[in-house]
Structure 1
């Protein structure tokens, strides 16, 4: 089991409120991603769950048991950090086995668990190597293996892919997602990268200045952002946010339209404009169009669009895809 509940959890450092007050329920077996900009409190929240930080007030329960005052070792959780924290003088086998050895587990049982974890993570042929002989992705898999052998109630990942290059991050995203399907264990994953959040999560928790802005599945947040912060943070490229006369015509202070929901034409449409930067990515092209009276609008279109800097175009937002927000920045139903 791995159900985790936060009830009125508050954390302050001196007079600074880092986590004002959080209520959150994470179900057994869920893959939950905490996402938000730097300094939003996501890593602090993870450390509170792990027991690496003390709560100022509120309660944390795991499977119904209050663990608020318990040390990390008694919570039954395993944490994987951004830094691999491997012992450089030990082999991969010994690194994975270390927490079991410290717990006094029988050597035969240690051997079985280490080899099973290595097989799951495609590390069997690397067990006798040392961390310095491995790639960044392999070292991160060793760190995950060390967590797996403990058979925790939940895995806590604190930006584990930040040190990897873009290609390897993509590969590791898939590997961690596949691992979740295999183990069916609760996973809480912290990242500032909303692409990681969208592609990996069962449930996303969007944080801003320590507050939970919205909780939901990736597509719930994409289709129905609760406010301007979530609208601008979820989705890549980010949603176009437009104020002024164009918004007032729709009974809103601000309207939002995603780049993929704007059609482009050379002959006519709602807004006229001139193509600025055109980002050709192969299958997709992102056009940044300078429009008359509306501002710069990003348009996502096919890779073979054939429009470059200076081209005259017309843009038309899909009416049923417009998002409306009031003067407080809240979504209008």
Structure 2
């Protein structure tokens, strides 16, 4: 399909620097996810790749070809938007066919591609319907199908699941993962949801304030975060951070994930009082105010009875404890 290389890309809107020098290599067939908080630059970076925004400087290279100044339609990309962007007066079939017709693709080839995409995405029963007659999940599948029929070098997804309810997000996420495996296509996907990133990506790019904080496989980022920002962003519930001085440590910050703490009613490293417990069925999140370590979140697998006001002791797994220096970077 197509590789992607981004070389020192910067983007400014007036005096505001949104992208501050992005360098990234995406291999042919990779599924890469951009994550980060609102305003970090992830959607702007995707739009620069698509050609919907001009880079202030730097280079965008798709499949070995410099496309920094190339119009979007000639970049060999297909984009799936958060808002679906379907034509309301056209049927599903015609929404999927429109781009191919405009490109002069022969009618027989158009029908062949629509048939293949609609089978892949289970859209055959809806080909003669209009978008208003479809559910949100079906509309998003049509938007994905419209991208698939173009057979692009690069698929771009801009928060495609954010308008769907929780159950549909899970189902559509599975469909996108299966689509990637079937097509063996290069995909770049933007989301603010780190669960989507962890479950979909071959490689995650964590962005913050217009810069890349870390690039790596999902479990690499989970197990070996480069700094406090990545450690706090990857994982749910988020990592607990404790001032090193409170624990007699020379480093600035100690980090421990909720699932790497154990609790006991009689003994442990840090004595605390239960503030609140969230019973989620498969696991329980306990919020514990510890005399030594401060407010902690502890994730216990299964059902755990923890009444507010009760005393519990929390103990960290020493092999899964992280240390961060004054600059916020991980200390080996």
Q: TM-score, normalised by structure 2?
A: 0.98
Map of 1:290 onto structure 2: 289
Separation in 2, partners of 1:248, 1:144: 54
1:272 corresponds to 2:306: no
Residue 147 of structure 2 aligns to a residue whose secondary structure is helix
Residue 23 of structure 2 aligns to a residue whose secondary structure is strand
1:108 corresponds to 2:108: yes
2:42–2:207 Cα contact (<8 Å) kept:
yes
Residue 177 of structure 1 aligns to a residue whose secondary structure is helix
Map of 2:313 onto structure 1: 314
Structure 1 segment 26-45 matched on structure 2, within 5 A: 26-45=26-45
Separation in 1, partners of 2:200, 2:246: 36
Structure 1's unaligned 5+ residue stretches are none
Residue 213 of structure 1 aligns to a residue whose secondary structure is strand
**300-309 or 147-156: bigger deviation:** 300-309
- Structure 1's consecutive aligned runs of 4 or more residues displaced over 3 angstroms after TM superposition are none
How far apart are 1:105 and its partner, in Å?
A: 1.3
Give CA deviations for 1:307-328 in whole Å, capped at 9, x if unaligned: 2222211000000100000011
Residue 2 of structure 1 aligns to a residue whose secondary structure is coil
Structure 1 segment 1-333 matched on structure 2, within 5 A: 1-249=1-249, 251-333=250-332
Report how many aligned residue pairs link the two structures. Answer: 332
How far apart are 1:66 and its partner, in Å?
A: 0.7
2:18–2:41 Cα contact (<8 Å) kept:
yes
Separation in 1, partners of 2:248, 2:134: 57
Separation in 2, partners of 1:199, 1:310: 36
Separation in 2, partners of 1:191, 1:248: 38
Residue 85 of structure 1 aligns to a residue whose secondary structure is coil
How far apart are 1:302 and its partner, in Å?
A: 2.3
How far apart are 1:303 and its partner, in Å?
A: 2.5
How far apart are 1:244 and its partner, in Å?
A: 4.3
1:262–1:317 Cα contact (<8 Å) kept:
yes
**55-64 or 180-189: bigger deviation:** 55-64
1:79–1:157 Cα contact (<8 Å) kept:
yes
Separation in 1, partners of 2:15, 2:193: 29
Separation in 2, partners of 1:210, 1:322: 29
Cα RMSD over matched residues? 0.9
1:247–1:253 Cα contact (<8 Å) kept:
no
Separation in 2, partners of 1:247, 1:189: 40
Separation in 1, partners of 2:183, 2:301: 38
Residue 9 of structure 2 aligns to a residue whose secondary structure is strand
2:113–2:149 Cα contact (<8 Å) kept:
yes
2:244–2:254 Cα contact (<8 Å) kept:
no
2:247–2:292 Cα contact (<8 Å) kept:
no
